[in-house]
Amino acid sequence: MTRTLSQGWVLPALALLVGMSIVGCGQDGSASGPERSFQIDGLEVSAATMLRGSLVYGRLCRRCHGPNGHGDGRHGLALPRRPTNLREGPYPVSTGGAARLPTDEELARTIHVGIEASGMPAHPMDPQDSAAIVQYIKSLNPAWSTAPGG
């Protein structure tokens, strides 16, 4: 007997696979993504905040910045300027110069208003999503674990 979509097992399986690819898991099954907390700027960021940030990133940023933040997303290739590599920088939004890590406020403002010259659209969002995505973006770059940025 052949199962069909109407029997309801294929769509939930696909949803599970997509969810796993967003959240991530180490090869040994250990946490490697937002299901664990992070130390960022010397502060503990909860697993719930990291998960929320990961989901917002997946919905709004992944297509241009890529699944891992390297600036290699499918849609980013068509932009006039390659999207920022969030894992390494430099971050053009820092008022202290591209060599300095941007503050939380600078990251949030950039996400909210976009960068017209580069083709980055504005992404207005509620304060909880904004705070979560800022922390998630900071978790992509190890420099935030060694230098204050926000």
Q: What is the pLDDT of residues 91-147, one digit of tens each?
A: 877 676 666 889 999 999 999 999 988 889 999 999 999 999 999 999 999 988 764
Q: Of 37-41, 47-51, 146-150, which one has max mean pLDDT?
A: 47-51
Instruction: Please state the pTM of the whole predicted model.
Output: 0.72
Give the mean pLDDT of the chain: 78
User: What mean pLDDT comes out for the span 69-73?
Assistant: 95
Name the class of domain 46-150.
Answer: mainly alpha
Return the HEC string of the chain.
CCCCHHHCCHHHHHHHHHHHHHHCCCCCCCCCCCCCCEEECCEEECHHHHHHHHHHHHHHCHHHHCCCCCCCCCHHHHCCCCCCCCCCCCCCCCCCCCCCCCCHHHHHHHHHHCEHHHCECCCCCCHHHHHHHHHHHHHHCHHHHCCCCC
Annotated domain spans of the chain: 46-150
